[in-house]
């Protein structure tokens, strides 16, 4: 039976400590629900933390959608999807996820995924927005969560509505 996939997006090397901590907890909580965790696949920042968090849960499954052939994912990625699409892979991330979650909204890559998710009409939750709420609400439907636990409640609701 087709597995539910939750995409968690966030910055790499320049991610804030708060976003990384949110990513790690999100990965863990999503895995506990039995959902598959999908990330942008790089071994840095929110991407690594989310996969690490998920793999702390027994029976979890993690997918990393790699931007390039030579991208080395963290050991916490079970399934590496190799695209060689560069940032073009961001649209694959968004379309593959049943619900998209962004940790922070101020990195360019993450913002592109937020925008592509809205464009594609995908359910979208932003965790840890820091003043971007007004701006993002103008472009389309975006839910905001103050914490990973709140995000899980929203994801569950969005999946049921789906």
Q: Which residues bind a second copy (CB under 8 A)?
A: 1-3, 5, 36, 61, 63, 65, 69, 73, 75, 77-88, 90-92, 95-96, 106-109, 111-112, 114-116, 118-120, 131-132, 135, 138-140
Q: Can you give 70-86 as a three-state secondary structure string?
A: CCCCCCCCCEEEECCCH
Closer to a second copy by CB, 25 or 105: give it: 105
**In terms of CB distance, is 121 or 160 closer to a second copy?**
121
**Residue with Cβ nearer a second copy (29 or 97):** 97
Q: Which residue has the tokens 């690490």?
A: 52
- Tokens for 40, please give them: 């942008």
Considering the complex, what minimum distance in angstroms separates the CB of residue 149 from a second copy? 26
124: number of CA atoms within 13 Å, CB side? 30
Q: What is the distance between the alpha carbons of residues 2 and 113, in angstroms, rounded to a whole number?
A: 23
CB of 47 or CB of 92, closer to a second copy? 92
């Amino acid at each position: 039976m087709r597995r539910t996939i939750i995409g968690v997006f966030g910055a790499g090397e320049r991610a804030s400590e708060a976003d990384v901590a949110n990513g790690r907890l999100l990965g863990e909580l999503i895995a506990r629900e039995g959902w598959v965790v999908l990330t942008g696949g790089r071994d840095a920042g929110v991407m690594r933390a989310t996969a690490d968090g998920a793999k702390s849960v027994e029976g979890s499954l993690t997918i990393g959608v790699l931007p390039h052939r030579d991208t080395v994912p963290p050991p916490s990625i079970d399934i590496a999807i190799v695209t060689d699409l560069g940032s073009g892979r961001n649209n694959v991330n968004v379309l593959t996820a049943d619900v998209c979650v962004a940790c922070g909204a101020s990195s360019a890559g993450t913002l592109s995924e937020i925008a592509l998710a809205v464009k594609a009409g995908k359910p979208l939750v932003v965790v840890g927005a820091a003043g971007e709420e007004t701006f993002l609400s103008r472009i389309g439907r975006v839910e905001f969560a103050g914490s990973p636990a709140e995000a899980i409640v929203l994801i569950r609701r969005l999946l049921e509505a789906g």
